[in-house]
Amino acid sequence: MGKDQLEFKRWKAYNYVIQNRWRGVLMGISNELNSLEIIEFMLCNNYYGVSTSLINEILAYQSVTPIPNAHSCVEGIFMPRNKMITAIDLGGCLQIGTANSNGFFVVAQVDDTEVAFHIDSVVGIHKVEKEEIRDMGHFVPKDGYTDGAIRINKKLVILLNFENIVRDVNPEELTMQLEEDKIKEVFDE
């Protein structure tokens, strides 16, 4: 086989890979519109989940420094890798108890802030169809801490809305974000 033929075969194979990669990407985008990847975790013997798109990392629990006059759901602050992160007592926010001290932190990016949510344990990551997510009913506010519930492996997993939790714990962050959005709107006009 000549050099030109070998180059042509390489080009043809490369082109095939690129075409299929784009086909896969486009199919993935189509599937992503209908599905959601969540991380499932336990807190006070209940199962919860949140979209993995918010999650930066999961850390083993470490001691925190309490913040004077902070919201009752704020455990304190800690500094992994010289980055200050606020730790939130998720069980306290949900009014179900407190996570155990040998649990984990789910570190999430909420707006422009990294926040650590104290949980008991991580169960796993699941890809779920959005149509499988069920409304929580009339007794749960639409803008509350939950986005719905889903059955995974015969367990009911409640999907949490970390953004609403952070905004409730730190309303100043919401006000600052709204003000920044208004300023952007003025300059964009």
* pLDDT 10s digits, 81-101: 888 999 999 999 898 988 888
In contact, 55 and 40? CB cutoff 8 Å: no
Measured between alpha carbons, how far is 137 from 158 in angstroms, rounded to an integer? Answer: 13
Residue 132's H or E segment, with its range, is none
In contact, 93 and 119? CB cutoff 8 Å: no
Measured between alpha carbons, how far is 12 from 8 in angstroms, rounded to an integer? Answer: 6
Q: Which residues, other chains included, contact 91 with Cβ-Cβ below 8 Å and sequence gap of 6+?
A: 43, 44, 97, 98, 99, 118
Question: What six digits make up the tokens of 81?
Answer: 């890798």
Evaluate if pTM is beyond 0.85.
Answer: no
pLDDT in tens, 1-11: 555 555 555 55
